[in-house]
Amino acid sequence: MVKLDIISDPICPWCYIGKTNLDKALAEIPDHPFTIEWHPFQLNPDMPAEGMDRRAYLEGKFGGKEGAIKAYAPVVEHAEKSGAHINFEAIKKTPNTIDAHRLIHWAGIEQRQLFVVDLLFKAYFVDGRDIGDHEVLADIADTAEMDAAMVTKLLASDADVDDIRARDKHSREMGVNSVPTFIVANQHAIPGAQPPDMWVQVIKDIMGQLAATEG
């Protein structure tokens, strides 16, 4: 097996599009060699714990309404192309994602990580839910067949907050400054939401190398 580490933030539209594209390639080659693990990166580490009104956040980040619309035009285009459904009208808040990252981490311990990542993207981008809200996160945990009561208890504590921040910091120190970033076999960094055919080629190349090594 080959490790594929994905550095991502669940409110990042390019991460959602990148995962949608990767999923298409994995479905095309179901015997792919990847073992996938998701890692934390906060686009907005200084976001207030309660989050912010999304419109105010985007206009502040991109210098007004026109700047926000212009910045998001490529997102809309690539989302449609990939089939990643984004319901922009439904998204009212930009949350702080530290707790969503904690849930992804705990899901990994219980072999539920891919399921939880899927549910977080859907909750935020399709349903417009606040994935900084503990009740929403507990509901997602329950859907993923995790212990929602235990997750609620952990969310109310500071469990693994320092660990998540340290892992985020480590990624930045390694040179990661945007997400998604995909790291293949601890060696090759692939930045951005790559198209499915690129992933198909990467998978075929790796499988060819593995076959040659085993042969």
Structure confidence by residue, pLDDT tens digits, 39-53: 999 999 999 999 999
> Which tokens go with 18?
């990148």
Q: What is the pLDDT of residues 91-140, one digit of tens each?
A: 999 999 999 999 999 999 999 999 999 999 999 999 999 999 999 999 99
Contact by Cβ (8 Å): 34, 26: yes
Q: Which domain does 66 fall in, by range?
A: 2-214
User: Which residues have CB under 8 Å from 60's CB, separation 6+?
Assistant: none
Domain count, the chain: 1
Q: Is the pLDDT of residue 214 over 90?
A: no
Contacts of residue 102, defined as CB under 8 A and 6 or more positions apart, other chains included, come to 154, 155, 159, 160, 161, 164
Q: What's the CATH number where 205 sits?
A: 3.40.30.10
Percent composition of the chain: helix, strand, coil (DSSP 3-state, to 5): 55, 10, 30
Rounded-to-integer distance, Cα 39 and Cα 182, Å: 10
Spatial separation of the C-alpha atoms in residues 159 and 99, rounded to whole Å: 10
pTM (two decimals): 0.96
